[in-house]
Structure 1
Amino acid sequence: MAKIAFILLCHKDPDAIIKQAQSLTAVGDYMAIHFDARAPAAAYQAIRAALAGNPNVVFARKRVRCGWGEWSLVQATLLAVEAAVDAFPRATHFYMLSGDCMAIKSAEYAHDFLDRRECDYIESFDYFKSDWIKTGWKEERLIYRHWFNERTQKRAFYAMFEAQKRLGLTRPIPDDIEVMIGSQWWCLRRRTIEWVLDFVKRRRDVVRFFATTWIPDETFFQTLVRHLVPETEIESRTLTFLMFTDYGMPVVFYNDHYDLLLSQDFLFARKVSPLATELKRRLGVLYASEGARFQISNEGRSLFKFLTGRGRIGRRFAPRFWETESTLGRERELLIVVCKKWHVAKRLVDRIRQLTNVPCIEYLFNEEATPLPDLGGIQSTLGKRHRHRRALMRMLFDYYESDRLIVCMDPSNLDLLEDFCNDRALTRVLEVECQFSDSYLIGHAMRVGLAGERTPQETLNRLLPTIRNDMVHESDRIRDREFQNYTRMRELDAPEANAEPLARFLGVGQDKAHEIAATSYLFAD
């Protein structure tokens, strides 16, 4: 059975560290602690005194002063790892933690999880070929030497960098090393840890190289593990759940995140707020529990992206040249059916197609697989369709040899609606207002990745009002634009009432419009 030695790097809140160590070792696991030398000595002594009688806790043989982006973080990790290897011969796995991490599964579940597969869990992506680094320096982290801390010694840091760059003082990467990158929160087997420690002793040249790279905690272990362990024995992922905001800051978890955290396919989470005392208490009790069952839905990141995206409706800075200098044609009519329930809009345009013979195209700006004629490749991807929207529509008018064309759009495509309604062509918009039951909204959440089959009901209950309000907001935004030729038909209205806006939209008689509106299965889910 797996026995975990936790490698804890911490620098503050001694009371929380003491509780964390007591909780994680109470079930028979181990912990090696490195407490930052920058922190007060009194806080360190308080931790040592409180854990002195715990045989499952050990401390790094010396403390180093740690700084973000520095080699000191790797050095502190190696010191804690060495202490754990020496003190806990029965430890099978070594798991990196910070003082802000909390277990989000039981110890029983964590041990079973690690026993299932003989592998190391560490993000390990090709440094140069992957897109793990989204912005900023890439090769500059490696080929120049960095002796100063970018955050606390900014002037010296950049002065040294510019001097090396000006003088061409670059250096090669060790020939037999392929640099990898990934999260510093890993879980490695004992054999792998022993190989790493042996490699550190033998290859001082590699250690010297990484010691003057920038942010080596994202590259050192990731590179060595990939160098020492067969690829088939590496799972390139972290077992610690963490998210980042749009501003690159870690998302902080609070008391009301308990159910969400438990449903993620991870063993720990970072960062838990120091103020989330109830969350910490519940997670501490959970770690020591037996027989707990977890429904893994894993929708945390997509859910966070969705919720934080509300209210951040962007605008393109300027229209494309082909949008401002082209038109669909003054003599043409573009009829746009806007509906959130795509199946309803598809039934409607199918019925329109049967009774009017007007060419109808379904969600061409939303569905990649929408049937379209070959237009020379401009129709091949959603990205191209959006970028060349007016050119695409002109080509469709020409292809169908018609001056009237009907297309379907999602209410979220407000930028497209504004663009087409500002064209010289006559553009009409018909919004189809539908009712949304809870079951439909749950299905929608699953289709777009906000929920899964095992998402807890409590999470769904909190999510549904947000999704419902989001759909209402999309409709309100369209009405607020006050498009000149806007009409609306509603699921709650009788066919007689819906026939009138439909007749104006299509430019057909009342009888034909009523025949379309009276389609019996039109709004069925």
Structure 2
Amino acid sequence: MAKIAYILLCHKDPQAIIQQARRLTVAGDYMSIHFDGRAPDEDYRRIRAELDGTPNITFAAKRIRCGWGEWSLVQATLHALQSAIEAFPRATHFYMLSGDCMAIKTAEYAHAFLDARDVDFIESFDFFDSDWIKTGMKEDRLIYRHYFNERTQKRRFYAAVNLQKKLRLKRAIPPDIQVQIGSQWWCLRRRTVEWILAMVRERRDVLRFFRTTWIPDETFFQTLVRHLVPSDQIESRTLTFLLFSDYGLPVTFYNDHYDLLLSQDYLFARKISPEATDLKARLGRLYAAQDVAFQISNEGRSLYSFLTGRGRIGRRFGMRFWEAEGSLGRERELMIVVCKKWHVAKRLLERIRQATNVPAIDYLFNEEDAALPDLGGIQATLEKRTRHRRALMRMLFEYFETDRLIVCMDPSNLDLMHDFFSDRSLTRMLEVECQFSDNYLIGHARRVGLAGEQTSVATLARLLPTIRNDMVYESDRIRDAEFPRHGRLRETSSPEENATRLAEFLTISPEKAKAIIEPAGLFAD
């Protein structure tokens, strides 16, 4: 059975460290602690006084003064790993933690999880080809030497980099090393750790290189594991659930996140707020519990993105110069059907196709597989269609040899609506307003990844009002835009009222519109 040696890097709150060490070793696991050399000595003495003599706990042989982004973090980890390897010969896995991490599964679950997968869990993506680094310095992290800390010595840090650039002091990466990058929170098997420590002793050139790279805790272990371990024995993921805000700051979890955290497909979570005393107490009791069943829905990341995105919706694509100059043509008529229930809009378009000769295309800006003709590649991806929307629409008019065209759009496509209504062509809109039952909203949440089959009833109860309000908000934004020639079909309206609106939209006779509307099932889910 798996036996985990936790590698704990910490720098504050000695009482929390003592509690964490006792919690995580109560089920027979181990812990090796490195307490930052910058922290007060009295705090370190307090931790040692409480934990010295505990058979499942050891300490790094040497304390390092650690700084964010520096080699010191890697060196501290290596010291803690070396102590753990020597002290715990029965440890099968080594799991990297910080003082802000807490278990979100039981020890029983964690052991079974690791027993079932004979792999190393570590994010490791190609440094140059991946987009793991979203902003800031990339190649310069490696090809220049970094002797100062960017956070505490910003002027010296950038002065040193700029001087090396001016003097053309680029350095080569060790030729047999393909640099990788990923999260510093990993879980490695014993033999992998032994190989790493052996390579550190043997390959001083690799050690010298990483000592002066910037943020090496995101590249050092990630690179060495890929160098030493076959790819089919590496699962490129972290087992610690963590989120980052749009500003690159770690998201903090609070008392009301307990159910959400337990439903994620991870063993630990980071960061837990120091003020979340109830959450910490519940998670603390969880690790030693027995026979706990976990319903894994794993919607945390998409749920966070959805909820934090409310209220910050802007124009995703600015107008390109060729789009601003291009027009669909004064003589052309573009008719837009807007509906959140895509199946309802598609059903309506199918009836329109059967009753009229007007070409109609389903959600071409929302569905990759929308039925589009070959237009030379401009239709290949959603990004291309959206970016070149006017050019795409002109080509569709020409392909169908028509001056009238119907397309479907989601209510969230407000920027596209603005663009087409600003064109010299005649643009009409028909908004189809549907009723949204709780069951439909639950299905919608699952389809878009906000919930899973195992998402708890309590989580769904909190989520549904937000989704419902979001849909209302999208409709309100369309109304606030005050588009001309904007009509509405309503599920709650009579067939006669809806037929009148459809006749105005399509400029067809009321009788033909009534024939489209009247058959039952238009709004059925």
TM-score, scaled to structure 1: 0.98
Structure 1 residue 122, shift from structure 2 partner: 1.1
Q: 1:475 corresponds to which residue?
A: 475
CA distances 1:328-362 after superposition (whole Å, capped 9, x unpaired): 12222111110000111111111112222222111
Q: Deviations over 1:31-83 (max 9, x none)?
A: 11111111111111111122234221111112111000101001110111111
Which stretch shifts more, 48-57 or 447-456?
48-57
Provide the residue aligned with 1:305 in structure 2: 305
Aligned to 1:282: 282
Residue 368 of structure 1 aligns with an amino acid whose one-letter code is E
**Partner amino acid, structure 1, of 2:237:** R
What residue identity is the alignment partner of 2:355? L
1:161 matched residue in structure 2: 161
Instruction: Name the counterpart of 2:34.
Output: 34
Residues of 2 paired with 1:238 and 1:34: CA distance?
21
Mapped partners of 2:395, 2:209: distance in 1: 58
Moved over 3 A (4+): none
- For structure 1, list consecutive stretches of 5 or more residues without a partner in the other structure: none
* C-alpha distance in 2 between matches for 1:462 and 1:51: 42
Q: Which residue number in structure 2 is paired with residue 10 of structure 1?
A: 10
- State the distance in 1 between where 2:335 and 2:126 align: 49
Q: Distance in 1 between matches of 2:505 and 2:385?
A: 25
2:361 aligned partner, one-letter code: I
Determine the structure 2 residue equivalent to 1:395.
Answer: 395
Q: Quick check: 241-250 or 498-507, which moved more?
A: 498-507
Rounded Cα–Cα distance in structure 2 between residues aligned with 1:310 and 1:157: 38
Matched with 1:129 is: 129
Query: What is residue 422 of structure 1 aligned with on the other side?
Result: 422
Q: Is the 8 A contact 1:106 1:289 kept in 2?
A: yes
Alignment of 1:130-149 (within 5 A): 130-149=130-149
For the 8 Å contact 1:352–1:516, the answer to whether it is kept is yes
Which AA in structure 1 matches 2:323?
E
- Kindly provide the amino acid, as one letter, of the partner of residue 369 in structure 2: A
How far did residue 248 of structure 1 move?
Answer: 0.5
Tell me which residue corresponds to 2:363.
Answer: 363
> What is the rounded CA distance, in whole Å, between the counterparts of 2:237 and 2:307 in structure 1?
25
| Equivalent residue number for residue 339 of structure 1 | 339
- Aligned position for 2:439: 439
Show CA shifts across 1:379-428 (max 9, x none): 22212211221122222222222221111111011011111111111111
Distance 1:486 1:258 in 2: 45
Q: Give, in whole Å, the separation in 1 of the partners of 2:122 and 2:317.
A: 40
Helix, strand or coil at the partner of 1:5? strand
Q: Which residue matches 1:225? A: 225
Deviation of 1:89 (Å): 1.2
Instruction: Report the counterpart of residue 210 of structure 1 in structure 2.
Output: 210
SS at match of 1:294: coil
Task: Please give the alpha-carbon distance, in whole angstroms, between the structure 2 residues aligned to 1:374 and 1:69.
Answer: 49
How many residue pairs end up in the alignment?
525
Deviation at 1:318, TM superposition (A): 4.4
| 2:84 corresponds to | 84
Match of 1:120 in 2: 120
Distance 1:419 1:172 in 2: 49
Paired amino acid for 1:238: T
SS in 1 for 2:455: coil
Q: Counterpart in 1 of 2:314?
A: 314
For residues 378 and 60 of structure 1, the distance between their equivalents in structure 2, rounded to whole angstroms, comes to 59
SS of alignment partner, residue 288 of structure 1: coil
Query: 1:270 corresponds to which residue?
Result: 270
Distance in 2 (CA, whole Å) between partners of 1:235 and 1:315 is 37
Of 303-312 and 381-390, deviating more is: 381-390
Post-superposition offset of 1:452: 1.3
How far off its partner does 1:300 sit?
Answer: 1.0
Deviation at 1:141, TM superposition (A): 1.1
The 1-side partners of 2:386 and 2:187 are apart by 43
Q: Please say if 1:52 is aligned against 2:52.
A: yes
What SS does the aligned partner of 2:256 have?
helix
Cα pair 2:240 2:266 within 8 Å, conserved: yes
Q: Distance in 1 between matches of 2:231 and 2:506?
A: 61
Cα separation, 1, equivalents of 2:172 and 2:424 = 60
- Within 1, Cα distance between the matches of 2:217 and 2:374? 50
**Deviation at residue 368 of structure 1 after TM alignment:** 1.5
Q: Distance in 2 between matches of 1:92 and 1:450?
A: 36
Which segment drifts farther, 375-384 or 212-221?
375-384
Tell me the CA shift for residue 135 of structure 1.
2.2
Separation (CA, whole Å) in 1 of partners of 2:8 and 2:344: 55
Distance 1:255 1:174 in 2: 47
What secondary structure is seen at the aligned counterpart in 2 of 1:151? coil
Return the letter of the residue paired with 1:92: T
In structure 2, how many angstroms separate the alpha carbons of the residues matched to 1:316 and 1:448? 19
Aligned residue for 1:176, secondary structure, equals coil
Give the secondary structure class of the aligned counterpart of 1:95.
Answer: strand
1:259 aligns to 2:226 (yes or no): no
Are 1:453 and 2:453 an aligned pair?
yes
Report the Cα distance in structure 2 between the residues aligned to 1:188 and 1:163, rounded to whole angstroms.
39
Shift in Å, 1:490: 0.5
Query: For 1:373-412, what aligned pairs fall within 5 Å after superposition?
Result: 373-412=373-412
Change over 3 Å in CA distance of 1:177–1:379 after alignment to 2: closer
Report how far residue 316 of structure 1 moved. 5.5
Matches within 5 A, 1:177-216: 177-216=177-216
Letter in 2 for 1:158: Y
2:150 corresponds in structure 1 to: 150
Amino acid at match of 1:265: D
**Native 8 Å contact 1:95 1:186 kept in 2:** yes
1:114 CA drift (Å): 0.7
- CA distance in structure 2 between the aligned counterparts of 1:338 and 1:63, rounded to whole angstroms: 63
Q: Percent identity?
A: 74
Q: Distance in 1 between matches of 2:318 and 2:111?
A: 55
Deviation at 1:511, TM superposition (A): 2.0
CA contact (8 A) 2:102 2:272 kept: yes
- Structure 2 residue runs of 5 or longer lacking an equivalent are none
CA contact (8 A) 1:322 1:390 kept: no
Alpha-carbon distance in 2 for matches of 1:339, 1:157: 53
Structure-2-length-normalised TM-score: 0.98
The CA distance in 1 between the partners of 2:411 and 2:34, in whole Å, is: 53
The alpha carbon displacement at 1:317 in A equals 7.5
Paired residues of 2:317 and 2:387 also in contact (CA < 8 A): no
Q: What is the CA deviation profile of residues 97-119 of structure 1, one whole-angstrom value per residue up to 9, with x for unaligned ones?
A: 00000000000000001111212
Question: Could you tell which deviates more after superposition, 168-177 or 257-266?
Answer: 168-177
How many Å separate the matches in 2 of 1:405 and 1:209? 61
